[in-house]
Amino acid sequence: MTESDVTTGLRDHLLLHYGQHSKLRDGQYPLVLTRGEGVHVIDADGRRYLDALSCLFCAQLGYSYGAEFAAAATAQLTTLPFNTNWNTAHPPAIELAERLADLAPQGVNRVFFTSGGSESVESAWKIARQYHVANGQPERVKAVARRTAYHGQTLGALALTGIPTLKEPFGRPAIDVVRVPNTGEGDVEFLLRETEEAIVAAGPETVGMLIAEPVQNAGGCFVPPAGYWTGLRQLADRYGFLLVADEVITGFGRIGEYFAVPEVVPDMITVAKGLTSAYAPMGAVLVSDRVAEPYYRPGQTLSHGLTFGGHPLAAAIALRNLDIFERDKILDGVRELTPHLRERMQELRDLPGVVDVRGDGFFYAAELATDDLNPVKAGLLRAGLIARVDDRGKPVVQIAPPLVCEREHLDEIVDKVGAVLSESLQKR
């Protein structure tokens, strides 16, 4: 495409996700990225950017494994290009389900495939509802989620999301959700007490599931205090609802393990993004044997399905992704460099206007004392760095670099974030 074609297509045809399209009419165009190399992406003008966000927390392996994934894709496309899991099956989905069950916590052995993270969360809710109906508790129609949590864009997943601005255009939520504190709001005793009180007030016999991220994304990388997940597991067992770990972002190495949920075994785990390192769209719900049991009863049906869930091509890509993780010791690299990134990120605390720095693994945020993030956004792009600048919860700069980053890449990220914050916040 010529530069003119790109401009015309952007302005007149492409609807951007969360795009403010009036800006296109004014000639304000977003980045148009044309290729990737290593941990960098290159725009239509040839400018390089270090991708410190893994393209929305997806590109665990960066951009240099294309030939390997292309070989896996070609082999699958020339064997069986497509089949569904609607009462049929195919080898890539079967093998991937086995691999994921081997990696998952003990007792989480069943896998339902989706096309992405929102579908995974939506599917988890439907599986939870059917579980309770099958066990004679159809009144369990409520879910529990944190105040600022983000869980996806489909109407059910959006209902679980706690960010009001994302929900306002769509009216009444599809799910009745009980809101509980974010993990940054107090110590473990406070968090668990507030959560239990909210559940009791809502009527614990009406609660079907509680969903939470091991490290909460929205609001900026909230790490739970020790004992938090143990407490959630105890509440779920006491009141009879299911505990769901949303690992769409944290899964597959972001925190240094395949799954980041600590201490306990959840009833379900939702995944996507890093499952394929974004080389193909795919998600999954990992389901415990206990929750899957009703579907194995005579006459029972799992009343949910997705055309492209478990697509053979996507499954082949996910299998190759897991092979690369093992061969190249990706998790070892994250664990080795996590202390260095933590130490470097903590240096940002000394900057004027930085309120807090928090996170774990390759997933960090710096909370800022400002209500104008535009200078920070512009400064990071000028510096050749793609990071997330977000004010839907706490105002933060957030990084989630590819897991293949070397020490020097992490240093470059922190140095550039620090320089931009120093300049942008000092001017205020």
- 59: DSSP letter: -
Q: Token pair for residue 418? A: 């620090």
Specify if 375 maps to a domain: yes
**Torsion angle, alpha carbons of 387, 391, 395, 397, to 10:** 0
User: What would the pLDDT profile of 18-56 be if each residue is shown by its tens digit?
Assistant: 888 888 777 788 889 999 999 999 999 999 999 999 999
Q: Token pair for residue 358? A: 């928090």
What is the reported pLDDT for 172? 86
User: What would the pLDDT profile of 217-276 be if each residue is shown by its tens digit?
Assistant: 999 999 999 999 999 999 999 999 999 999 999 999 999 999 999 889 999 999 999 999
Is residue 87 domain-shared with residue 209, that is, in the same domain? yes
Specify if 419 maps to a domain: yes
As beta bridge partners, residue 354 has 368
- 136 CB neighbour count, 10 Å cutoff: 7
**Rounded mean pLDDT of 383-412?**
96
Distance CA 339, CA 348 (A): 15
**pLDDT score of 1 more than 70:** no
Instruction: Indicate the SS3 state at residue 52.
Output: coil
Specify if 237 maps to a domain: yes
Is residue 42 domain-shared with residue 84, that is, in the same domain? no
Specify if 220 maps to a domain: yes
Domains of the chain: total: 2
Distance CA 403, CA 61 (A): 6
- 84 CB neighbour count, 10 Å cutoff: 18
Whether the CA torsion 186, 189, 190, 194 is positive or negative: it is positive
> Could you tell me what percentage of the chain is helix, strand and coil, using 3-state DSSP and rounding each to the nearest 5?
45, 20, 40
CATH number for 382: 3.90.1150.10
User: What would the pLDDT profile of 112-160 be if each residue is shown by its tens digit?
Assistant: 999 999 999 999 999 999 999 999 999 999 999 999 999 999 999 999 9
What is the reported pLDDT for 373? 93
Distance CA 48, CA 179 (A): 42
Instruction: Give yes or no for a contact between 169 and 135, defined as CB atoms under 8 angstroms apart.
Output: no
What is the reported pLDDT for 27? 76
Specify if 20 maps to a domain: no
Distance set, CA 388 to CA 62, 147, 246, 385 (Å): 17, 20, 20, 10
Instruction: Give yes or no for a contact between 71 and 319, defined as CB atoms under 8 angstroms apart.
Output: no
Q: Token pair for residue 324? A: 């690369």
Domain with 107, as residue range(s), is 69-327
**pLDDT score of 428 more than 60:** no
User: What would the pLDDT profile of 283-299 be if each residue is shown by its tens digit?
Assistant: 999 999 999 999 999 99
**pLDDT score of 311 more than 70:** yes
Q: What is the mean pLDDT of the chain?
A: 95
Band the pLDDT of 407: cuts 50, 70, 90: very high
Task: State which of 283, 312, 327 marks the end of a domain.
Answer: 327
Region for residue 366 given its phi and psi (left: phi exceeds 0; alpha: psi -120 to 50; beta: otherwise): beta
Specify if 19 maps to a domain: no
**pLDDT score of 95 more than 70:** yes
What is the reported pLDDT for 3? 66
As a residue count, the chain comes to 428
Is residue 300 domain-shared with residue 205, that is, in the same domain? yes
Against a cut of 0.85, is the pTM above it? yes
Task: State which of 308, 327, 346 marks the end of a domain.
Answer: 327
CATH number for 207: 3.40.640.10
Is residue 322 domain-shared with residue 335, that is, in the same domain? no
Distance CA 377, CA 389 (A): 6
Burial of 358 (0-12, 13-18, 19+ CB in 10 A): buried
Is residue 280 domain-shared with residue 147, that is, in the same domain? yes
Region for residue 256 given its phi and psi (left: phi exceeds 0; alpha: psi -120 to 50; beta: otherwise): left
What is the reported pLDDT for 427? 61
